[in-house]
Amino acid sequence: MIQRYWSRAIKLVQWGRIGLSLRRLKTAKPAEREQAQQALAALLADSRGLAMKIGQIMAGSHDDNAFQALVTSIEPLPLSKVKTCLGKPLERALQAIDEASAAASLGQVHHGLLHNGSEVAIKIRYPGIVTAIKAELNISGWLPAGGPIKRWQFDANDYKTTLHRQLLRETDYRIERQTQQRFRQNLTVSGLHIPTIYPEWCNEGVLVQSWEKGCRFSETCHWPKQQRLEIGRTLLMALWQSLFVHGEVHGDPHPGNYLFRLDSQGHAETVLLDYGCTVLIARQRRLAFLKLIEAYCTGQNIDAFGCFVAMGFNADKLAHLQEQLPELCTLLLRPLLASKPFPVAHWQLSAALQSLLGEKRWWFRAAGPADLMLLLRAFHGVNQQLAQLDVALPWWPLLKNAVGAEVLEQARQLDLPTTATANNVTARTSARRLCVRIWEDGLPAISMDLPPEAATDLASLIPSTVLAQLNAEDGLDLPALSQRLQREGISPQDLFNGHSGSKHYRVWLE
């Protein structure tokens, strides 16, 4: 009990230091930014566990930022500190084991030589990391859901549950062993290599697989174009096949999880490592996505709203984006709709979404299921890699080749849910947006335009101290206002004007 609380206290101190470093990074001047990034990266590396995992996400798919050290150059623990985790059967099978060659957020990798001459990679979980992760997850449960999470009505509990479940799953190497074996058995993509697992020597904290050689992603960006095209084709087809055919996607695309080499014929080969983080996509969800893609690529009419609902999106929230949905689909599917090989550097999706939806892009994200963040991470990783490889590929032909005619036909035959919910929500909501304006000392301080549905939860948008003052001075009764809107419908109207000290608030529906 004492150990658990002590571990939690240590993690609280570490997270406090990380929080301060994040604030320094946010306010750093351009000339100081790199130094601030390096300081934050060092803190994340020292914490390992959840904090280091966040740093690896910040590294993304780039090999040239301060957080990349969290992927390629973390100082491993000495072998003497982890050797007791190996287990007697593996120790007897080993002729030799080297000091760790690589370290990650939850464990580190050692090169080993079996008595039969086979080279193996031995991934060993850090001693005590499970207790540390649980302490960090308990701390994350105390964190408030602020900013866009609160304003756009994200299901914070769903996101936290997804994060907790995924991280605890990653600490059990028996699950990773089974996942890697499934990927090796199921994926049939040319140029993709998945290491062989030695299950007889694996346990909850140790994973043994074939030792693989190759170079890092940054080196491949200087390879001849044909080999870069082969790598890009392999990465893209592996994503399509794992998603649409097998329903399980590798969700950790940072550069440390790839090796690249040339086979005996000079063709590029991609080695995919680390199967601790994968996202499972149910059959209906993935077939609905494929149905949407094929309809747009072949010029057929499609109930896009029904497809998104079948993919797990919240119908009530998505209904407020119905008018933009056709154009939104065109933006999201742009590489697939191209008539010739598409260079992803031309996509500029973030800017296009900002132009189309503005702040309502958060509403679109909030409408999606929590595990969508893992799937988006996989897509983002492949897109970044294709951009860095500087290659253009024909997305739609490759997708059809990766999934095959049978899966495409299953998508065509999928029955979509009715759109009655969307029609009902639209009928109850005639306002186009909720407007929130705040002036301080007569000058504009805050200007927000939100989906009209947010009017039923104004209490989450206004600080509690201000609410108390407005209620005392102006008789504002937000619960009664919310009930009235739910009962009568969300129509254009003034909701309230009020003052709190030097601040003036005005909230209305238009």
The per-residue DSSP string of 54-74 comes to HHHHHHTT-SSSGGGHHHH-P
CB 159 within 8 A of CB 140: no
Q: What percent of the chain has pLDDT over 90?
A: 45
CB atoms under 10 Å from CB of 54, counted, come to 16
Name the H helices within 253-338: 283-298, 304-310, 315-318, 325-332, 334-337
| In the predicted structure, residue 43 carries a pLDDT above the cut 70 | no
CB 71 within 8 A of CB 252: no
Residue-wise pLDDT tens digits, 261-277:
999 999 999 999 999 98
Q: What percent of the chain has pLDDT over 70?
A: 74
Of 227, 233, 421, 407, whose CA–CA distance to 309 is shortest?
421
Q: How far is CA 66 from CA 45, 74, 124, 380, in A?
A: 12, 12, 26, 19
pLDDT of residue 482: 78
Band (471; pLDDT cuts 50, 70, 90): low
Mean pLDDT of 176-194: 96
Tell me the average pLDDT of the chain: 80
| In the predicted structure, residue 104 carries a pLDDT above the cut 80 | no
Least reliable range by pLDDT among 164-178, 235-249, 302-316, 340-354: 164-178
Band (430; pLDDT cuts 50, 70, 90): confident
pLDDT of residue 196: 97
CB 344 within 8 A of CB 380: no
Least reliable range by pLDDT among 41-50, 221-230, 355-364: 41-50
| In the predicted structure, residue 328 carries a pLDDT above the cut 90 | yes
Record the tokens describing residue 344, joined without a space. 């992803």
Give residues with Cβ within 8 angstroms of 146, minimum separation 6: none
Is 61 or 332 the better-scoring residue by pLDDT?
Answer: 332
pLDDT of residue 455: 78
Report the alpha-carbon distance of residue 499 to residue 502 in Å, rounded.
7
Phi and psi, residue 137, nearest 5° = -65, -35
Q: Where are the beta strands (DSSP E) in 167-230?
A: 192-193, 206-210
Mean pLDDT of 295-306: 95
pLDDT of residue 15: 44
Mean pLDDT of 142-163: 59
Band (63; pLDDT cuts 50, 70, 90): very low
Query: Which helix (H) or strand (E) covers residue 17, if one does?
Result: helix 2-27
Mean pLDDT of 189-205: 96
Residue-wise pLDDT tens digits, 30-39:
655 555 555 5
Record the tokens describing residue 2, joined without a space. 């004492």
Sheet holding 258-262, edge to edge: 192-193, 268-272, 258-262
DSSP-derived secondary structure for 402-449: HHHHHHHHHHHHPPPPPSHHHHHHHHHB----EEEEEEETTEEEEEEE
Highest-pLDDT range among 255-259, 487-491, 500-504: 255-259
Beta bridge partners, 438, equal 446, 505
Report the alpha-carbon distance of residue 340 to residue 337 in Å, rounded.
9
Band (148; pLDDT cuts 50, 70, 90): low
Least reliable range by pLDDT among 203-207, 239-243, 260-264, 422-426: 422-426
Strands 192-193 and 268-272, by their bridges, are parallel
Phi and psi, residue 103, nearest 5° = -130, 145
Phi and psi, residue 110, nearest 5° = -120, 145
Least reliable range by pLDDT among 247-256, 472-481, 490-499: 472-481
Mean pLDDT of 398-402: 97
Q: How far is CA 486 from CA 99, 420, 430, in A?
A: 64, 18, 13
pLDDT of residue 394: 97
pLDDT of residue 293: 98
Is 165 or 249 the better-scoring residue by pLDDT?
Answer: 249
| In the predicted structure, residue 497 carries a pLDDT above the cut 90 | no
Domain ranges of the chain: 2-71, 216-428, 430-509
Band (12; pLDDT cuts 50, 70, 90): very low
How large is the greatest C-alpha to C-alpha distance in the chain, in angstroms?
83
| In the predicted structure, residue 58 carries a pLDDT above the cut 50 | no
